[in-house]
Amino acid sequence: MLFDVQDIRAALIEKFGEAVIYFQDLTDQSAFIINPSYQLCVFNYLLYEQKWKFDTLKDVVLSINPGHDHCEYSLVYQLSSRFFQNKLQLLLPVQFPEPKVYSLSNQYKTAEKFEKEMASVYKVEFAVKPSKFSAFKKRLASGI
């Protein structure tokens, strides 16, 4: 079941407000620019929300967009949903010379491979934000 891009646009704007900006490029492809401070929230929403289920990370590339006010440099994430057969493109602005973003390796199996590639080629640093479960597991291990 394919959804209309306007449906997800409305849902993202309702949930995150101006932290997510919708745009279309010259080839008429739709994409969303994510405020970096909302990165994990937006990706978790798209992964776990029953209406979307974007459960596959297909690719991550660095995009250079000269003259683009919101993101001159950005990581472009290609997501897809196996259940609904939908695709989505998200742009996450990064600042050079020392780009830092959160890792998505806890959400997507393929993220680690893409992140290693981005780190080795472009020196993008991916920080892993510990989950509550990993913090609990660490405390439990230190008590034994």
Using the structure block, give the residue that is written with the tokens 């991550």: 60
What's the pLDDT score for residue 84? 82
Q: For residues 101 and 117, give the distance between their C-alpha atoms in angstroms, rounded to a whole number.
A: 14
User: Minimal CA–CA distance to 68: which of 21, 13, 115?
Assistant: 21
pLDDT given for residue 25 in this prediction = 66
- Give pLDDT < 50 ranges for the chain: none
User: Whole-prediction pTM value?
Assistant: 0.85
The per-residue pLDDT for 68 is: 75
How far is C-alpha 1 from the chain's CA centre? 22
